[in-house]
């Protein structure tokens, strides 16, 4: 999810031991522009809403999280705004060559809960953001949340059309391109 601690702690250890990895990036949450919605819920003491929020359309979820964020103390807002990597950090990680950057939607949305146009926007925006900021389009994608209800046929078709060669979930097993 491109947390800043990957840059600060994990990446140096991976480099020291020459261990390659993939970092999946929800591009709408990079830098201070928009803290991760689930972190806002946690800071507000409302982790109980995560299952509901993950299924909301991005604009509705982001609006609700923004309102909740506005009610948090200044120090909590500052902490949340510094929780993710910046684009400069991601460019540095990518330039190193050991870590591959993959797409992870724009706003970490459950693609199984969205309409076809919303899925397309989440995927397209993510790929365009990464290409603009890193100079190349990623070939790997991870489904946010990763469960069986978080994927969709529409998403698989769009990813293939955009040249994504592999997509990951948290479910065991594999799915070939002939599904």
Task: Walk along the chain (179 residues) and give the pLDDT tens digit of each residue.
Answer: 999 999 999 999 999 999 999 999 999 999 767 899 999 999 999 999 999 999 899 999 999 999 999 999 999 999 999 999 999 999 999 999 999 999 999 999 999 999 999 999 999 999 999 999 999 999 999 999 998 999 999 999 999 999 999 999 998 876 654 54
Q: How far is CA 1 from the centre of its chain?
A: 5
Cα–Cα separations (whole angstroms), residue 119 to 6, 25, 63, 156:
27, 16, 18, 10
Q: Which of 141, 137, 134, 131 is nearest to 105 (CA)?
A: 141
Total length of the chain = 179
pTM, two decimal places: 0.92
């Amino acid at each position: 999810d491109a947390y800043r601690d990957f840059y600060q702690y994990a990446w140096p250890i991976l480099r020291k031991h020459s261990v390659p990895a993939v970092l999946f990036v929800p591009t709408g949450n990079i830098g201070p522009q928009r803290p991760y919605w689930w972190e806002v819920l946690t800071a507000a003491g409302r982790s109980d809403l995560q299952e509901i929020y993950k299924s909301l359309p991005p604009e509705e979820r982001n609006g609700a999280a923004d309102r909740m964020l506005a009610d948090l103390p200044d120090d909590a807002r500052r902490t949340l705004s510094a929780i993710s990597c910046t684009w400069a950090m991601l460019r540095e990680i990518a330039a190193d060559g050991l870590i591959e950057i993959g797409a992870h939607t724009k706003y970490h949305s459950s693609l199984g809960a969205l309409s076809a146009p919303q899925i397309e926007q989440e995927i397209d925006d993510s790929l365009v953001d990464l290409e603009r900021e890193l100079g190349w389009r990623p070939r790997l994608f991870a489904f946010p949340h990763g469960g069986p209800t978080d994927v969709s046929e529409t998403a698989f078709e769009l990813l293939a059309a955009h040249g994504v060669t592999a997509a990951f979930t948290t479910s065991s097993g594999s799915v070939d391109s002939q599904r």
